[in-house]
Amino acid sequence: MNEQTVTIDAATCLYGIIGRPVRHSLSPVMHNAAFCRLGINGVYLAFDTDDTARACMSMRCLGIKGYSVTIPNKERIISELDEPDETVLRIGACNTVKNSAGRLFGTNTDWIGAVKAIEKKMDIAGKTAVILGAGGSARAVIYGLKKSGVDVTICNRTVEKAEKLAKEFNCKAAGIGHAEKIRADILINTTPVGMGSLSGTSPVSGQGVMNYGLVMDIVYSPPVTRLLQYAMNAGRAAINGLEMLLVQAMAQFEYWTGRPAPEETMKKALEYAISHETH
């Protein structure tokens, strides 16, 4: 890994991620590597909290420059912001906060991560996509795809929830089983199936994956989920959650600093952290 070090002094700018839990977050390794690579006097820490009101008060009082926001804080932090942007209001979730002279500005870069990760594999305008799940992550992905001209179908275990979200974003809805039969260019899993206690399971069968040209899983641990293994076995393009995580983090870095993010540095830091992860 990079042997450079950051000197922390009275002028060091503080950034961090707020959520619960955040102990295993990979965001600190990416952002700290980026600060180091560009010679920015900044440090990025993980703050385990679900108290967004106090986290934002601390941000103002202590002059913390930026937050990444993860579960369960993405929705509840919106009311604490001075200026949430259009993406936050449309998606209904905020994953990035910037402190400018005590005023808190919010945006959402999750959708950028999803769209740019897919665009590295194909031109998505005019394509069709099936989204598995109807939670906060699904909202960001759907927003990005619709913005890019993709025809979206939401498949969720609770059909009523899928229908409500589909009405909001002007797309189609169906039960989770429909993903086995429908044909589309893109399949994206935004559910937790494939991680944690559900590791080794897949929301779609190996046969069902054959109906799609590209398969993306926002789960990044493990890097290759059962769903992505099915896709690769079928000769389909596969994108894991690490790519989305990297791209959204790059967008955050640029939002905070106004400087281009060092992609290769952040990618190597991420890969190193994953390869040395202990369980």
Average pLDDT for consecutive 10-residue bins of the chain (279 residues)?
68 96 92 97 97 98 97 93 97 96 97 94 96 92 97 97 96 96 96 87 97 94 93 96 94 98 97 77
Residue 189 belongs to domain spanning: 112-239
Q: Is residue 8 part of a domain?
A: no
Distance, in Å, from the CA atom of 241 to the CA atom of 135, rounded to the nearest integer, reads 16
Specify the pLDDT at position 6: 66
CA-to-CA distance for 146 and 60, rounded, in angstroms?
35
Please indicate, yes or no, if residue 206 is contained in any of the structural domains: yes
User: How many structural domains compose the chain?
Assistant: 2
Same domain flag for 27 and 72: yes
Say yes or no: 95 and 135 in one domain: no
Give the CATH number for residue 47: 3.40.50.10860
**Is there a domain that residue 217 lies in?**
yes
Assess whether 174 and 197 both reside in one domain. Answer: yes
Residue 267 within a domain: yes
Measured CA distances, 3 to 169, 242, 276 (Å): 47, 23, 16
Q: Are residues 36 and 123 in the same domain?
A: no
Let me know if 183 is exposed, middle or buried by CB neighbors in 10 A (0-12, 13-18, 19+).
exposed
Residues 146 and 205 placed together within one structural domain of the fold: yes
Please report whether residue 103 resides in a domain: yes
Residue 204 sits in the same domain as residue 176: yes
pLDDT value of position 197: 85
Note the pLDDT of residue 7.
Answer: 80
Residues 75 and 26 in one domain: yes
Torsion of CA 276, 68, 94, 137, to 10 degrees: 0
* Measured distance CA(77)–CA(87) in Å, rounded: 14
Q: Are residues 68 and 139 in the same domain?
A: no
CATH code of residue 195: 3.40.50.720
Residue 224 lies in a domain: yes
Q: Residue 152 is encoded by which pair of tokens?
A: 């979206």
In this structure, is residue 4 part of a structural domain?
no
Please check whether residues 119 and 200 belong to one and the same domain. Answer: yes
The residues annotated as belonging to the active site are 74
pLDDT at 136: 82
pLDDT at 234 (0 to 100): 97
Q: Are residues 162 and 255 in the same domain?
A: no
- On whether both 147 and 199 belong to a single domain, the answer is yes
Clarify whether residues 185 and 128 are in a common domain. Answer: yes
pLDDT given for residue 4 in this prediction: 56
For the chain, the 3-state helix, strand and coil shares in percent, each to the nearest 5, are: 40, 20, 35
